[in-house]
Amino acid sequence: MRGLRFIHRVALKPRHFKVYGSNLLYFFNFVATTSKSPALREAAREMASHHIGRRNGDATRFPPDPDADDITQLVLAGHSAEKHGLRDRALKARLRRAAEGFRAEEYLWFDPLVEPPPDDVPEACDCGAGNERGRKRCRGCRRKLSYMTRYRVWCLALTTAYSGESYGVRLGASYAEVLRWLPYLRPYRGPEGGANHDFYDAVYAISHLVYTLNDYGRYRLSPAWLPEEFEFLSANLSEAIARDDPDMAGEFLDSLLAFGRTHDDPVMRPGVEFLLSCQNRDGSWGDRQAEIYARYHATWAALDGLREYDWRGEKLRFPEVLPWLEFWAKGRKSRRAGRRKASGNGGGAEVSA
Ligand SMILES: [Zn+2]
């Protein structure tokens, strides 16, 4: 409840609400509709109804010549408003028409129909200049650019496609078209003592795979659908604690809760103790000097890791992808059996993932 109130205070600040209002409204909606605790649901519902009336014109105004990014932002705002019962059919129809004018790359940095998530997309430069794929130096300030990992590119594409499809406006690709590259991200490597620089982004790719498949806390997922992700999460929660990272620990915990683990499970307990031990006095989690998005996101993640969910059964938000998940899981099983055979181990001991 103290964490929830912290995020409420963030949202009350007009300068924060102006930038993050849609995202914060998603948050209040998720807590209000998926928490098991009636008190938490009620508090989040009251906060949401207070903030929904503060949406200003910026969140709904259609610019004269929108680019793909403007359309994405308007879709996110429209989708989050719809979750609170505010519908604008005219805006949606307009967005749908405008969205068709852009290619998948303009929304997602790549076209999932023709290639896997790439590793040559530059991170946004501090100077604000946009840079095209493959560029080594920023065209604005000539600084050396770093590239997003393919995990990060895929994760952003997955959440964008999820929101677009849930709202009813295609943002470059369908959810399933992005999801089909999941096997390309496997197998996942552990932190390797800090040597694996993909580790951080792999964690968030997996947690956001869980959120988009379970509609952000609505459904439980079977570990049999995503065995490699389930094993990765179970094996590496300790790394989030070692990194003293409550945001990451929260992402591990709520993803594992979705797979059916409980707070008193021996795998989960150290993560729960860690989060309970590092809440700030103001109710937040994480670095109090960090910028506000990082502060409320860490608090959101920690809350999601600690609260209990009112699961509505074992189900997928996009049931059409189930045959793929099953096929990939089956392929993995037979690959493992093949490896066991090849190494002369007739059974018994599992080959480590
Ligand atoms: Zn630059």
pLDDT in tens, the chain (353 residues): 999 999 999 999 999 999 999 999 999 999 999 999 999 999 999 999 999 888 766 666 788 899 999 999 999 999 999 998 889 999 999 999 999 999 999 999 999 999 999 999 999 999 988 899 999 999 999 999 999 999 999 999 999 999 999 999 999 999 999 999 999 999 999 999 999 999 999 999 999 999 999 999 999 999 999 999 999 999 999 999 999 999 999 999 999 999 999 999 999 999 999 999 999 999 999 999 999 999 999 999 999 999 999 999 999 999 999 999 999 999 887 877 777 766 554 433 333 33
The sign one gets for the Cα dihedral 268, 271, 276, 277 is positive
DSSP one-letter string for 231-291:
HHHHHHHHHHHHTT-HHHHHHHHHHHHHTT--TTSTTTHHHHHHHHHS--TTS--S-TTS-
| Alpha carbon of 129 to ligand 1 centroid (Å) | 5
pLDDT at 332: 80
| Alpha carbon of 110 to ligand 1 centroid (Å) | 22
| Alpha carbon of 146 to ligand 1 centroid (Å) | 11
Q: State the number of CA atoms in the 13 A half-sphere of 341 facing the CB.
A: 6
pLDDT at 337: 79
| Alpha carbon of 133 to ligand 1 centroid (Å) | 14
pLDDT at 348: 37
pLDDT at 349: 37
pLDDT at 56: 65
Under 8 Å between Cβ of 212 and 219 = no
pLDDT at 34: 98
| Alpha carbon of 64 to ligand 1 centroid (Å) | 27
Strand-pairing partners, residue 117, are: none
348: left (phi over 0), alpha (psi -120 to 50) or beta: left
| Alpha carbon of 15 to ligand 1 centroid (Å) | 25
| Alpha carbon of 176 to ligand 1 centroid (Å) | 34
| Alpha carbon of 125 to ligand 1 centroid (Å) | 5
| Alpha carbon of 310 to ligand 1 centroid (Å) | 46
| Alpha carbon of 144 to ligand 1 centroid (Å) | 8
| Alpha carbon of 48 to ligand 1 centroid (Å) | 38
| Alpha carbon of 69 to ligand 1 centroid (Å) | 19
| Alpha carbon of 220 to ligand 1 centroid (Å) | 43
Q: What is the dihedral of CA 178, 181, 185, 186, to 10 degrees?
A: 130
> What token pair was written down for 65?
């010549």
| Alpha carbon of 134 to ligand 1 centroid (Å) | 15
- The three-class DSSP label of residue 93 is helix
| Alpha carbon of 79 to ligand 1 centroid (Å) | 32
| Alpha carbon of 294 to ligand 1 centroid (Å) | 22
Rounded CA separation 69/169 (Å): 13
| Alpha carbon of 147 to ligand 1 centroid (Å) | 13
Rounded CA separation 190/178 (Å): 24
